[in-house]
Amino acid sequence: MALFDSLAAYRPMALAALRIMTALQFIEHGTQKFVNFPPAAVPFGDLMNLIGVAGLLEVAGGALILAGLFTRPTAFVLSGFMAVAYFVAHMPADFFPVNNRGDAAISFCFIFLYLVFAGPGALALDNRRKTA
């Protein structure tokens, strides 16, 4: 269809919007762990464990994805991190993601995996480097 074909010109901007909004949501998970913002129903407490590592990956990795800097390698690491997070923290509670509250982890995993292959899109620092 001609309408959908004409939308292809906006693909880099749509990819940038997906990357930026995903990164902002991902960073929230880390800031919630470190500074309790947005406030968690139950604060995380001691971060000298895997929760602290998760928070660090969420804030630092999310910031890199947000800026579109080292997008592909960062997205690869974060995709794997989200897969492990799902199987370690969510899957044991229940088989179904909607019941074990792992649907966000699955979504993040596959969005990051897509960014590994698609790249950062428009508005990314990777586009200013010689090898993107």
- The 10 Å Cβ neighbour count of residue 46 is 7
The answer to the question of residue 6 being in a domain is: no
Read off the pTM.
0.92
The answer to the question of residue 94 being in a domain is: yes
The domain containing residue 16 runs over which residues?
12-128
The answer to the question of residue 106 being in a domain is: yes
The answer to the question of residue 76 being in a domain is: yes
The pLDDT score that the predictor gives to residue 132 is 47
Residue-wise DSSP of 18-66: HHHHHHHHHHHHHHHHHH--SPPSS-----SSHHHHHHHIIIIIHHHHH
- Give me the number of domains the chain comprises: 1
10-residue mean pLDDT series, the chain (132 residues): 87 98 97 92 83 94 98 98 96 96 97 98 93 52
